[in-house]
């Protein structure tokens, strides 16, 4: 679990704690996600493993539920660009 990123994500998104962030994420159809390189946050699918981040030009955004290992990385959805 990446606790530093989870704490950063919770703070940026306005949650009082990581637990509050995860509770909200589990009860919604979208989930806060964060880029580990630039701390950019956005709403993503709960099982997002490597969402696209334009300014980093990379697939780096992970959902809070994947970061917390509520959804294991082996079960998470990887971004695949359209062909």
Q: Does the residue 63 lie in any domain?
A: yes
Residue 31 · residue 44 · CB < 8 Å: yes
Confidence of residue 3 (pLDDT cuts 50, 70, 90): very high
Per-residue pLDDT tens over the stretch 33-47: 999 999 999 999 999
Q: Does the residue 51 lie in any domain?
A: yes
Q: Does the residue 78 lie in any domain?
A: no
Residue 59's domain comprises 3-67
Per-residue pLDDT tens over the stretch 15-38: 999 999 999 999 999 999 999 999
Q: Does the residue 57 lie in any domain?
A: yes
Q: Does the residue 46 lie in any domain?
A: yes
Report pTM.
0.85
Q: Does the residue 27 lie in any domain?
A: yes
Q: Does the residue 30 lie in any domain?
A: yes
């Amino acid at each position: 679990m990446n606790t530093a990123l989870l704490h950063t994500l919770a703070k940026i998104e306005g949650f009082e704690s990581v637990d509050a962030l995860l509770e909200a994420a589990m009860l919604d159809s979208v989930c806060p996600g964060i880029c580990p390189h630039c701390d950019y946050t956005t709403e993503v699918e709960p099982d997002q493993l490597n969402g696209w981040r334009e300014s980093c030009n990379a697939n780096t955004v992970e959902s809070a539920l994947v970061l917390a290992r509520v959804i294991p990385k082996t079960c998470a959805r990887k971004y695949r660009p359209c062909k």
